[in-house]
Amino acid sequence: MPERGRETPVLWLERVRSEDIDSVGGKGASLGEMTSAGLPVPPGFVVTAETYRWFIEETGIAEELFEAVDVDADDSTALADAEARAEELILGTDMPDGLREEILEAYADLDDGEAFVAVRSSATAEDLPDASFAGQQETFLNVTGEDLVERVKECWASLFTRRAIYYRQEQGFAHRDVDIAVVVQRMVDAEKSGVMFTSHPSTGDDRIIIEAAWGLGEAVVSGSVSPDNYVIDRETGEIIEETIADKKTMMVKDPETGETVEREVEADRREARVLDSDEIERLIELGETAENHYGDPQDVEWALVDGEVFMLQSRPITTISDPEAAAGVTDGSGTFEEQEGSDGSMLMKGLGASPGIVSGPVRVVRKLDQLDKVGEGDIIVTEMTTPDMVPAMKRAAGIVTDEGGMTSHAAIVSRELGVPAVVGTGEAASTLSDGQVVTIDGDKGTITEGAAEEETTEEDRLEEIRPQNPVKPMTATEVKVNVSIPEAAHRAAQTGADGVGLLRMEHMILSTGETPDHYVEHHGADAYIEEIVNGVREVAEEFYPRPVRVRTLDAPTDEFRSLEGGEDEPHEHNPMLGYRGIRRSLDRPEVFGHELEAFRRLFDMGYDNVEVMLPLVNDAEDVLRARKLMENAGIDPEKRSWGVMIETPASALSIEELAEAGIDFASFGTNDLTQYTLAVDRNNGNVADRFDELHPAVLNLIGEVIETCREHDVATSICGQAGSKPKMVDFLVNEGVSSISANIDAVRDVQHEVKRVEQKLLLDSVR
């Protein structure tokens, strides 16, 4: 063992500082810094990274271990074998007696060796940029006695999960260069617990936000209970907003087994205020101490027992917008100044599809080969956008289209990218000219001449572009988010959504510029599969372990026809009613099989949060045939979560047979369900006023599906545009839907609307 490691197999937290991160890892260094700052941190120690290194070298397993995990990251079978072999080597090797004794001696110094402790991995690489495998290491609660040694070894073994191996291979990290430390810390039997943000997590303004619930903090962090929410003015200490929740359950330690269990909260405490004014004052004081010590606003986990507050974790808040980059109206040069010659006269009006106000030079795009002229800060003006225009859309400051509505490609992608957009102008592409400076208002749907004459206030601009508030209200109905393109995953995750209710696979394929058949023919099936794997993985990684529901390919023939190889696509009078969705997949099982192989590889990599969703099914026969193809691809429908889109009246009326076919969930695609129920083309301006997702016929179908699914223990969701509308949210929550998936810009509003409806239902039930 290296000299320092041999002398100090463990380091007590009071001796740890930030410069010890190579020995104690990110988590250990943070706890040590908090201790040194005088914050009340539960006592504990770190089994150092050098100790792990000494163990694998002293016992002679190091070379075999590193050889076992040096595998092809794209070979899912090899990854699984590597994980199993690494675990076998580490857990199957006895801890040397001297090291075992030293760890247990340190444990004995915690309350005479009778303490319940938390054992947590602390990877030395976890604070590297994008080191997202770090969150995959282990945590064990309420550990006692000799079990501690085995839990330490399990933390070491967690350094070699499939996902961790894959990540390091992809990022170029050598396995032998990565070590791991283990934090051992006395458990706090919290009577009250929660989280605190020392500044507003979106804007950084001087508002402290505290969430609190009864019992252990796992309930608040996991979202299993709705906590009280206190918003405090930092300057005055005054509570400016207070929400006292109905706290039905709490997490506590079972006094007999020591395990963490869920208990019902006593009736007289369910709606009682968790924190008194003195406790809030003490938390504010500790939060400010932590912020002053680190120099940045902090996200703090805390626990309170016998009147004493303990700090369990503190980390910087990473979601605060830059006020200087957020204030005012931007022009195409990236500044927020008024341009000369602006007169503010309105040129045309459309539908405000993505919020925000932006100014810049127009770039009219009539053909795909004109996309290269779109630069940073330009305004794309086109008849309508397509998936292969996404790279240019990401460069643009704003988007204007002649056609489309709130469910058009331009509208959906613009909202996900946070780019202001106006759609359905009817004449922009033929009226505006290249280089012409305009201002678009994505709220009002207006396009005016020149740059904006008046800048919006800083607060207005912040409200337009700030990320969704990650301090979300806890609700029984899950609120998820729709994602069209993988590049929007990070912004989507910042909403605090409970997962992804709809990830569209077709954008990953169409962005290649080739039809699936053409791509496979010219690049090979494996390359095609990897396009899907890489796109889905980017979102699954960002949200892990929250679920990500991926819809299999559902592109109409007219979208395929514009791609290379599209000349073989059939010409259809109405492609939306034609050769798309599951009907195309079942007709072309070889291509569909590539999609399923991508899912299988993702599952083998450890992305167990990925769910498979089949679009445009009509009946049980569709589902059973697709299920058989899943099984043929090596996907076990009994172990993986999969389900269907309810987009046709036929599927809604066949829901009982679909449930009996084994689906785990049914998700409403209200855009299609509405147009097929009402015989209204949602993109046809002549009948657009008849498109109504709240039509009684549509609601009746949705209500009956939810009721039947509840009888069969099948989850229900909505991922169509209507899921972002308050009236639809009210209806769905009252009907008992399992989850609602909203557009990125609407998640926060839907979260609060769901909470309001649920609280009203609760009050009505007790009256």
CATH at 427:
3.50.30.10
DSSP characters for 405-428? -TTSHHHHHHHHHT--EEE--SSH
Residue 88 counted as domain residue? yes
Indicate the range of 243-257, 529-543, 718-732 predicted with least confidence.
243-257
SS3 (DSSP) at 530: helix
Looking at the fold, whether 199 and 162 belong to one and the same domain comes out as no
**Which single residue is written with the structure tokens 């643009």?**
396
> Which residue among 260, 283, 316 closes a domain?
316
Answer yes or no: 507 catalytic.
Answer: no
Q: How confident is the model at residue 462, as a pLDDT?
A: 39
d(CA 662, CA 95): 46
On whether the CB atoms of residues 38 and 95 are closer than 8 A, the answer is no
Largest pairwise CA distance in the chain: 82
Q: Does 437 have pLDDT greater than 90? A: yes
d(CA 86, CA 83): 5
Looking at the fold, whether 510 and 453 belong to one and the same domain comes out as no
Residue 322 counted as domain residue? no
Q: Which helix (H) or strand (E) holds 637?
A: none
Higher pLDDT, 257 or 693: 693
Looking at the fold, whether 159 and 290 belong to one and the same domain comes out as no
Q: How far is residue 710 CA from its own chain's centroid? A: 26
Residue 196 counted as domain residue? yes
**Which single residue is written with the structure tokens 């806890």?**
474
Looking at the fold, whether 206 and 177 belong to one and the same domain comes out as no
d(CA 740, CA 729): 8
Cross-strand bridge partners of residue 483: 503
Banded model confidence at residue 408, pLDDT cuts 50, 70, 90: low
Looking at the fold, whether 525 and 408 belong to one and the same domain comes out as no
On whether the CB atoms of residues 657 and 627 are closer than 8 A, the answer is no
Q: How confident is the model at residue 405, as a pLDDT?
A: 62
Indicate the range of 3-7, 208-212, 240-244, 362-366 predicted with least confidence.
3-7
Looking at the fold, whether 290 and 333 belong to one and the same domain comes out as no
Banded model confidence at residue 323, pLDDT cuts 50, 70, 90: very low
Looking at the fold, whether 239 and 264 belong to one and the same domain comes out as yes
Looking at the fold, whether 460 and 480 belong to one and the same domain comes out as no
Residue 542 counted as domain residue? yes
> Which residue among 433, 464, 495 closes a domain?
464
Looking at the fold, whether 436 and 488 belong to one and the same domain comes out as no
Banded model confidence at residue 112, pLDDT cuts 50, 70, 90: low
End-to-end CA gap in the chain: 68
**For residue 152, how many other CB atoms are within 10 A of its CB?**
25
Cross-strand bridge partners of residue 118: 185
Residue 312 domain boundaries: 192-316
Q: How confident is the model at residue 319, as a pLDDT?
A: 42
Q: Does 464 have pLDDT greater than 50? A: no
On whether the CB atoms of residues 286 and 302 are closer than 8 A, the answer is yes
Residue 470 counted as domain residue? no
Q: Which of 215, 245, 241, 214 is nearest to 228 (CA)?
A: 245
pLDDT single digits (tens) 127-177: 343 333 333 457 788 888 889 999 999 999 989 987 788 777 766 778 888
Q: How confident is the model at residue 328, as a pLDDT?
A: 34
Looking at the fold, whether 679 and 738 belong to one and the same domain comes out as yes
CATH at 307:
3.30.470.20
> Which residue among 151, 186, 221 closes a domain?
186
Beta-strand relationship, 249-253 and 478-483? unpaired
Q: Which helix (H) or strand (E) holds 630?
A: helix 620-632
Higher pLDDT, 234 or 66: 66
Query: Which residue out of 175, 409, 507, 594 is catalytically annotated?
Result: 409
pLDDT single digits (tens) 479-515: 999 998 888 888 888 888 999 999 999 878 877 888 9
Answer yes or no: 155 catalytic.
Answer: no
Q: How many domains are contained in the chain?
A: 4
Looking at the fold, whether 166 and 201 belong to one and the same domain comes out as no
Residue 647 counted as domain residue? yes
CATH at 107:
3.30.1490.20
Residue 500 counted as domain residue? yes
d(CA 607, CA 699): 35
Amino acid at site 425: T
Q: Is 444 exposed, middle or buried (0-12, 13-18, 19+ CB in 10 A)?
A: middle
CATH at 737:
3.20.20.60
Residue 324 counted as domain residue? no
Higher pLDDT, 160 or 389: 160
Q: Averaged over 88-102, what is the pLDDT?
A: 94
pLDDT single digits (tens) 710-732: 999 999 999 977 888 889 999 99
Amino acid at site 728: M
Looking at the fold, whether 296 and 168 belong to one and the same domain comes out as no
Count, in order, helices (H) and strands (E) of the chain. Answer: 30, 29
Banded model confidence at residue 576, pLDDT cuts 50, 70, 90: confident
